[in-house]
Amino acid sequence: MPSLRSSSCGKPLLLEMVLLMTLGIFVAGFTEKSHSALSVVEDSGPVSVDDEEAHVEELDEADLDVFQPTSQWQTLKPGQAVPAGSHVRLNLQTGQREAKLGEEQQARYLREGQRVVNTEAPSFTAEELKEALKMFKEGVEDPRDTQAQQDEDLKARFRPLGELKKDLEALNMVVETDVQIMRRLIDQFNSSNATVAQRVKALLELEYLVHQVDNAQNLVSMGGMTLVINCLNGSDVELREIAAFVLGSAVSSNPSVQVEAVGGGALQKLLTILAIPHPIPVKKKALFAVAALLRNFPHAQIRFLKLGGMQVLADLFQTAGGEGLRIKIITLIYDMIVEKELMLQSGLDQIPDSSHQERVRQYSQVTLLPVLAEQGWCQLVPEVLAAVDHDWREKVLRTLLAMMPRCQEEFRLNRALGHSLGDLQRQYQELADNERELGEEEGYFGEILTLVDTVMLKVR
DSSP state of 450: H
Domain boundaries, the chain: 12-138, 141-173
Amino acid at 113: G
Range 14-40 burial, b when 16+ CB lie within 10 A, else e: eeeeeeeeeeeeeeebeeeebebebee
In a 10 Å sphere around its CB, with 0-12 CB exposed, 13-18 middle and 19+ buried, how is residue 213 labelled? middle
Q: Which residues contact 416 (CB under 8 A, 6 or more apart)?
A: 382
Helix, coil or strand: residue 50: coil
CA–CA–CA angle 307, 380, 295 (5° rounding): 45
Residue 222: name the closest of 253, 270, 166, 183 by CA. Answer: 183
pLDDT value of residue 173? 60
Query: How would DSSP label each residue in 211-265?
Result: TSHHHHHHHHHTTHHHHHHHHTTSS-HHHHHHHHHHHHHHHTT-HHHHHHHHHTT
Q: How many residues does the chain have?
A: 460
DSSP state of 74: E
pTM: 0.62
pLDDT value of residue 345? 81
End-to-end CA distance of the chain: 151
pLDDT value of residue 8? 41
d(Cα 399, Cα 452) in Å, to the nearest integer? Answer: 12
Q: Which residues contact 13 (CB under 8 A, 6 or more apart)?
A: 4, 7
d(Cα 423, Cα 288) in Å, to the nearest integer? Answer: 33
pLDDT in tens, the chain (460 residues): 444 444 444 444 444 554 545 545 444 444 444 343 333 334 444 444 344 444 444 444 444 577 788 878 888 887 777 777 777 787 767 778 888 877 776 666 655 554 444 444 445 666 776 776 666 555 555 555 677 777 777 777 777 777 777 776 777 665 678 999 999 999 999 998 999 999 999 999 999 999 999 999 999 999 999 999 999 998 899 999 999 999 999 999 899 999 999 999 999 999 999 999 999 999 999 999 999 999 999 999 999 999 999 999 999 999 887 788 999 999 999 999 999 998 888 755 556 667 888 888 899 999 999 999 999 999 999 999 999 999 999 999 999 999 999 999 999 999 999 999 999 999 999 999 999 998 887 899 999 999 999 999 999 8
Q: Calculate Rg over the CA atoms of the chain.
A: 50
Contacts by 18-22 with C-beta closer than 8 Å and gap 24+?
A: 22/90, 22/92
Amino acid at 152: E
**β-bridge pairing 97-100 and 74-75:** antiparallel
